[in-house]
Chains A and B, each alone.
Chain A
Amino acid sequence: MANESNSRKAILVTPEICIGCRACQVACKSWNQLPASKTKNNGTYQNPPDLESNTFNIIRFAEVPSKETPVRWLFVSRRCMHCEDAGCVKICPSGALYKTAEGAVAYDRDKCIGCKLCSTGCPFDVPRYDKEGKVSKCHLCFDRIAANMTPSCVKTCPTGALKYGDRAELIAEAKKTGYTTIYGENDLKGLGSVYAFKEEPKLYGLKENPALPSSVAFWHSYLKPLSWIGLGGVVAAAAIHYLAIGPHKEEKEEV
């Protein structure tokens, strides 16, 4: 078991060997005590259609054209990417969203003020909000991994399409096994949910070149520091002015 406490952990998804059983969806609900939601059959096995406040991961079912078989079915696990450079953590005004030592992006529900700004910060449209308007998403089972346990969804996966462990080791192994493309190896300074492919990630419907939304990047690098630099600069300038030039004096001849 990987237990180098200082190194970054990750979940490695290998869609090629996923059989679409969705045990991971159930395991997540079970560990996190999340209820199922009633949905309608809309012609696909993908159910529910997308992440929900009570659904932290889903298997996306994609049908793509193929020469060998009449139809080719692809299964890919969609969940929070646990970005190293996480827009949601950057923008969260309450500090409810935070990073754990293992690199998980977890949250303190009590601290969340329900402002939904994290949805603006996320490049992957992950954060959802419960009935009280509080944030809700995959937290990489931060409670389990802190106790050296495997995330619930990974533990249940029968094929090894989900693996958990030391991030660098997982990636190195995947490459050795012949997976030429590691999605998320370097995007957003490295994702905590990495995907191993032999084909183009685009084929599986993964977002190409994910990056922080430019508005959030601009805000974080310029606007946010400018407010306190401005305040500090004025206070310093006022002090210098007071000492070097001094306050306004009433002079008799100034009538």
Chain B
Amino acid sequence: MAEMVRKSSVDEIVNHWVLAGSCILLALSGFAFLFHLDGVAGVFGGYNVMKDVHNWLGVIFALSLLYSMRHYLKDAFEYDADDLQWFKVAGGYLSHKVKVPPMGKYNPGQKLYYLAIVAAGIAITASGLGMWLMKDDATVLMYSHLIHNLAFVIFAIAVPVHIYLGTLANPGTFKLMVSGTLPLEEAKRRYPKWMKAAGRM
């Protein structure tokens, strides 16, 4: 048995799936509202039920996003020269020949993704609450509707990129959100600076 390293804690994994599940259902119901997808609305039990489900899922999503900050926020604000170099080689995603600089626990793409989700998440939550609870104020309703949709565009682009990178594009990564562990040898190869900092390398 290869020695294993834990990258994601259990509470991080559980929280990630609460966040991901609520986010996907919110986006699905959101698309159903935007494009009147009667079939999708039917699965939720009609538009009236879907509205309540959407609103309360939003609350779950917001709490989960808040909780995720203890896992990712600190890392997401720290960048170094290797991170800059990572962007110059596009993370090695556009060619397998370039040399990708050594990475810490998260690459800058992941860190920026997290910040984008936090920013868009705050915007979509605030505007969602505005449309839900302050709909009698015409100005609040109008701006909330605009902001909700603006933030949704960010989600509609960033989340599928994230899912692709977390599954097909990086075989093995998905395991990090299931078991949370990976073999020490692999961890040394993928996250050398993190392993060094943790004294395992």
Contacts and interface: CB of A to CB of B under 8 A. Distances in A.
A111 B47 contact: yes
A230 B156 contact: yes
A212 B21 CA distance: 36
Interface string B168-181: 11111000000000
A51 to B, nearest CB: 15
Interface string A210-252: 0001010011000110111011011100100110011111110
B interface: dominant SS: helix
Interface residues of B, number: 44
B51 A238 contact: no
A46 interface: no
A180 interface: no
13 contacts: A95-B36, A113-B51, A117-B141, A213-B142, A219-B149, A223-B149, A224-B149, A227-B34, A228-B34, A228-B156, A235-B160, A246-B96, A248-B169
B79 interface: no
A155 interface: no
Interface of A: 91, 93-96, 111, 113-117, 119-120, 213, 215, 218-219, 223-224, 226-228, 230-231, 233-235, 238, 241-242, 245-251, 254-255
Contact of B189 (A96, A114, A213, A255): A255
Contacts of A241: 93, 164, 169
B153 A226 contact: yes
B76 to A, nearest CB: 21
Nearest to B171: A247
Contacts of B136: 116
Contact of B157 (A117, A230, A242): A230
Shortest Cβ-Cβ A-B pairs, 10 listed: A93-B33, A94-B47, A95-B36, A230-B157, A238-B164, A113-B51, A234-B160, A227-B156, A223-B149, A116-B135
Contacts of A228: 31, 34-35, 156
A96 B47 contact: yes
Interface of B: 31, 33-36, 38, 41, 46-48, 50-51, 92-96, 100, 131, 135-136, 138, 141-143, 145-146, 149-150, 152-153, 156-157, 160-161, 164, 168-172, 186, 188-189
A233 B161 CA distance: 10
Contacts of A251: 96
Nearest to B135: A116
A253 to B, nearest CB: 10
A120 B157 contact: no
A84 B149 CA distance: 24
A116 B141 contact: yes
Given A116-B135, A245-B94, A234 B157 contact: yes
